[in-house]
Amino acid sequence: MSLPTIAALGTTFALAFAVTALLIPWVMRLSERRGWVQQPGGRRLHARATSNIGGVAIYGGFVAALLLTFALEPWLPRGGFERLRLLLLLLGSTLIFLVMWRDDVVELPPLPKFVAQLAAALIAVGPYLWDHTRYPDVGGQLTEARGIVLTAFKFPFVNQISLWDLSPWLAIGATILWLGWMANTINWSDGIDGLAGGVSLIAALALALNALRQSPPQITIALLPLALAGACAGFLLFNFPPARIFMGDSGAEVLGYVLGVSAIIGGAKLATVLLVLGVPILDVVWLIISRTLAGRSPARGGRDHLHLRLRDMGFSPRQVVLFYYALGASFGLLGILNVAPVVKLAALSLLALIVIVLIGYASRRAAVAS
């Protein structure tokens, strides 16, 4: 890898980090003046009123770094399809940010937020909604689409499953489901200081490393998760326990949306994301099932999240987030390394077993305590 390429990668991360970190003090002062803060009490364990619009700084840092990558195109050229996808990403993430920022300020009902997630996913799909043509890539293979579309994925022991061979609308539906799932997974994990930002940082770095280890390296693809990782790192300076600012829905949903897009445009690296975010993803599955069986809305908040139950069991916020970091980094490493599919399947199974055992144990402890 050449020195200019390394410099471009490092500058992208550094700019996102710096802009995010520099914006946060201003965001905190603005929040205090406008009353955009979360008061302690109830499920909230912080000791004083704390700004909940840290997503403004995350979005600002990420967008600044992403715009920088366009300025680097004379040295790191992009194809037209990739450029289109990044523009669609900017539009979709901006919509998510604006609606969720409004929710952070005035607390919107669920419907507008759901509509915003759906609209952002449709924006990401872009022209592929009406143009299902497959276009040739640089090698002449018909693998390109005009939009961000989950066209195929692999399972261990079976050949690659091509969604657009089955139906273009199946590919569109899978894309919408994946992006919505990722946005909500990060948002629902944002219940303890440093958790959502930290696991997103690990996932973004894993996606960047995965892109760089391809042959040839996907340099321009790696710039996207690196921009996100830099924004997460800058935010964690102020959000690692004890937090001085919260990211709010405007930060968490943007992180999940961009991670979901990064996994698709990097060549459907879903296994990497599933391994890194296995704990919060499985926790979301558990919450949806358990709340539905109990006759509750899955979207309604509560203290039944795994990270909150671990907190109630006596673990400190730092212990909980470091546990999540360790699992995410350890299993995410398998998503980067060139290991056999059966090893990745075994890792996913082991991760699922760990989470199921933890959830079961925490649930029993909570039942006994009540």
Residue 352 lies in a domain: no
Those residues whose C-beta lies under 8 Å from the C-beta of residue 316, and which sit 6 or more positions away, are 241
CB 16 within 8 A of CB 65: yes
Angstrom distance (rounded) from CA 199 to CA 250: 17
**Coil vs helix vs strand at 357:** helix
Q: Which residue has the higher pLDDT, 295 or 78?
A: 78
Residue among 64, 120, 60, 67 at smallest CA distance from 92: 120
User: What pLDDT, on a 0 to 100 scale, did the predictor assign at position 176?
Assistant: 96
Domain span holding position 27: 3-269
161-162 vs 135-136, strand pairing mode: unpaired
Place of tokens 């273009």: 168
CA distance 198 to 31: 23
Give the containing element (helix H, strand E) for 152.
strand 152-153
Question: Average pLDDT of 326-353?
Answer: 76
How far, in Å, CA of 309 to CA of 360, rounded?
Answer: 11
Q: Which residue blocks in 107-247 are alpha helix, DSSP H?
A: 110-125, 163-166, 168-188, 195-212, 219-239
Q: Which of the two residues, 343 and 204, has the higher pLDDT score?
A: 204
Residue 300's pLDDT band, with cuts at 50, 70 and 90, is low
The answer to whether 119 and 100 are in contact (CB under 8 A) is no
Is residue 50 very low, low, confident or very high in pLDDT (cuts 50, 70, 90)? confident
Q: What is the DSSP letter of 241?
A: S
The answer to whether residues 153 and 270 touch, using CB atoms and an 8 Å cutoff, is yes
- The answer to the question of residue 284 being in a domain is no
Mean pLDDT computed over 208-213:
88
The per-residue pLDDT of the chain, averaged, comes to 86
Check whether the bond before 216 is cis (ω within 30° of 0). yes
**Residue 21 falls within a domain, yes or no?**
yes
CB atoms within 10 A of CB 26: 12
**Burial class, 186, CB count within 10 angstroms (exposed 0-12 / middle 13-18 / buried 19+):** buried
- Complete DSSP assignment for 34-48: HT-EEPSBTTB--SS
At 258, list the tokens.
């961009």
Which two three-digit tokens encode residue 23?
């914006």
CA 358 to chain centre: 23
In terms of pLDDT, which residue wins out, 215 or 19? Answer: 19
Query: For the chain, what is the domain count?
Result: 1
Rounded to an integer, what distance in angstroms lies between the CA atom of residue 244 and that of residue 225? 25
pLDDT at 159: 60
Q: What is the pLDDT of residue 35?
A: 86
Establish if 306 belongs to a structural domain: no
Contact assessment for residue 52 and residue 248, using Cβ atoms and an 8 Å cutoff: yes
pLDDT of residue 100: 96
146 occurs within a structural domain? yes
Tens of pLDDT, residues 176-201? 999 999 999 999 888 889 999 999 99
- Report the percent of the chain where pLDDT is more than 70: 89
274 pLDDT band (50/70/90 cuts)?
A: confident
The single-letter DSSP state of residue 245 is: B
Question: How many angstroms separate the Cα of 281 from the Cα of each of 181, 225, 253, 277, 288?
Answer: 9, 19, 14, 6, 11
- pLDDT, tens digit (0-9, with 9 covering 90-100), for 100-154: 999 999 889 989 999 999 999 999 999 999 999 988 877 777 888 999 998 877 6
C-beta neighbour count of 89 within 10 angstroms? 22
